[in-house]
Amino acid sequence: MIRAKRKMDHIKLFTLLGDGPLTAGFEDVRFMHNCLPDLDSQNIKLSTNIANIKLSNPLLINAITGGADVLAADNQMLAEVAAVTGCAMAVGSQYGSVIRKEGIMSFEVVRKYNPKGIIFANLSADAKSDIVEKAIEMIAADGLQLHLNVAQELVMPEGDRNFCGYLHNIELICAKAQVPVIVKETGCGMTREQVRQLLNCGVTAIDVGGAGGTNFLAIEAARRQDSGYNEMLGWGIQTALSILEARTITAGNSCSGLIASGGIRSALDMAKALALGADAVGMAGNILLKIKLEGVSSAVQQITKMLELLRNIMLLTGCKSIADFRNTPLLFSGILFEHITCRGYNLPAISNQR
């Protein structure tokens, strides 16, 4: 029950705390308007591929919840939103349910209300490979997310302190898993060095899970009511920066995919993440908030509007597919500009000829 209680506390504190203190970094990315797009908006394709799975649009409802019967209602609503919008969806961590057989129904409900959708299972990246199969079976998952949350664990009083052996464990899981494996961060981002290590282990797709959105360090600090952790709340690599890091590795790897998540809050954020090099974007916090405060139909409207605006932005940059969109010229400023310089990237190549 400790895990289930923690999941409930996370939702409660998340709604109180909101995003930040970092931004996701998208304010430092600008598009170049194309006044002669020569496109019909009906012919603009939002379909994309992630982990060798075809998606009708590039928006993933990212991992949030499950693990106690009382959480089934939230997962049912999220599944309904995913079914209507055609978005892929990931469930929250299934570890407690697989090990203790608690709250299984709160996950099964996701497949029940979205029988034909793309659904991802979710476990910690240190989960033993024998439980992976059970998590996948529980929801007939199309893929498996393994989450990394080292910084969060360090703030949790009951959290792990030993993080040895993760890469080896991920490699074992990838070798056995019957579905594509996605490794995701949960709000601190990834650098190109770790992305390369993960792909070398057999991981199919990466979700950079950058800083600037839901902040689990803040949530855990609030849960233990200890303001001593406050100076660490800006830790992590902002999502926009982390996409640039990851794309240098995934772009040259034809069988991998890149998901951008962490602080995607608008159609413009989504568009910038895709233009920076992501194949799809994940949103968790704002969709959860929408269903909690206004229900399923408002969340559906929100996503429908975001996808319509994405289509408009693609038209305004003269791009008819997500693949084209990754080559649209961009302008960089602020921290993103500094990041490109400090990490030795080729600025004209990133901004113009990608």
Ligand X SMILES: Cc1cc2nc3c(=O)[nH]c(=O)nc-3n(C[C@H](O)[C@H](O)[C@H](O)COP(=O)(O)O)c2cc1C
Distance of closest approach, residue 99 Cβ to ligand X, in angstroms: 14
Nearer to ligand X, 14 or 26 (CB): 14
User: Is 157 in a helix, a strand, or coil?
Assistant: coil
Residue nearest to ligand X (CB): 213
Which is nearer to ligand X, 147 or 339 (by Cβ)? Answer: 147
By the 8 A CB rule, do 89 and 120 touch? yes
Tell me how far, at minimum, the Cβ of 212 lies from ligand X, in Å. Answer: 7
Q: In the complex, which residues of this chain contact ligand X (CB under 6 A)?
A: 10-11, 14, 62-65, 92-93, 122, 145, 147, 184, 186-187, 209, 213-214, 261-264, 283-285, 288
Secondary structure class of 106 (helix, strand, coil): helix
- Compute the least distance from the CB of residue 207 to ligand X, in Å: 7
> Is the Cβ of residue 174 or residue 315 nearer to ligand X in the bound state?
174
Q: Which value, in Å, is the radius of gyration of the alpha carbons in the chain?
A: 19
Nearer of residues 80 and 220 to ligand X, judged by Cβ: 220
CB of 341 to ligand X, least distance (A): 27
- Pick the closest to residue 91 from 194, 6, 1, 7 (CA basis): 7
- Return the number of the residue (44 or 59) whose C-beta is nearest ligand X: 59
- Euclidean distance between CA atoms 191 and 197, whole angstroms: 10
Amino acid identity of residue 289, one-letter, is L
In eight-state DSSP terms, residue 211 is: B
Please report how close the Cβ of residue 269 comes to ligand X at its closest, in angstroms: 10
**Whole-angstrom distance, CA of residue 18 vs CA of residue 15:** 6
Nearer to ligand X, 257 or 315 (CB): 257
The count of other CB atoms within 10 Å of the CB of residue 99 is 13
CA 138 to chain centre: 21
- What's the min distance (Å) between Cβ of 147 and ligand X? 3
Alpha helical stretches, state H, 126-210: 129-138, 150-155, 166-176, 192-200
